[in-house]
Chains A and B, each alone.
Chain A
Amino acid sequence: MLYAVRLALITLATAIALPASLSYAAGEGRTPKPVIKIENADTKCVAPPEEMRRNHMEMLKHQRDETLREGIRGEPVSLNRCINCHASKQTGSVLGSNENFCQTCHAYVAVKLDCWDCHQPKANYKARVTNGAAPASHDKAASTMGAMK
Chain B
Amino acid sequence: MNEQTQMDKAGADKADAARRKFVGAVAAAGAVGGVAALAPGLHLIQVSQATPTPRAAGEAASNKVRWGMLIDTSKCDSGCTDCVKACATENGINETVKDARQASQWIRKIDIKEPKTDHTHSLPMMCQHCAEPPCVDVCPTGASMKRADGIVLVDRHTCIGCRYCMMACPYKARSFVHEALTEQNPEVPRGIGCVESCNFCVTRVDKGMEPACVETCTKAGHNAMLFGDLNDPNSEISRRIAQQATTQVRADLKLNLGVRYQGI
Contacts and interface: CB of A to CB of B under 8 A. Distances in A.
* Pairing of A with B: yes
Interface of A: 64-66, 68-75, 80, 83, 117-120, 122, 124-125, 127-138, 146, 149
State the majority secondary structure of interface residues on B: loop
Nearest to B90: A127
Contacts of B147: 69-71
B61 A133 contact: no
Contacts of B58: 72-75
B178 interface: no
Contacts, number: 108
Interface in B131-176: 145, 147-149, 153, 155-157
Contact of B105 (A124, A130, A133): A133
B191 A117 contact: yes
B184 A137 contact: no
A27 B126 CA distance: 56
A132 B81 contact: yes
A68 B157 contact: yes
17 contacts: A69-B155, A71-B55, A71-B60, A72-B58, A73-B58, A74-B58, A117-B180, A118-B190, A120-B185, A120-B189, A125-B186, A127-B92, A127-B184, A127-B186, A131-B85, A133-B104, A137-B100
Nearest to B145: A69
B84 interface: yes
A68 B89 contact: no
B199 to A, nearest CB: 10
Interface residues on B, range: 35 or more
A117 B145 CA distance: 21
B60 A72 contact: yes
B155 A68 contact: yes
Contact of B100 (A70, A73, A80, A136): A136
Given A119-B184, A120-B186, A133-B105, A64 B157 contact: yes
Contacts of A80: 186-187
B201 interface: no
A128 B183 contact: yes
Contacts of A117: 180-181, 191-193
Given A118-B189, A118-B191, A127 B157 contact: no
A138 B111 CA distance: 13
Contacts of B106: 133
A118 B194 contact: yes
B183 A119 contact: no
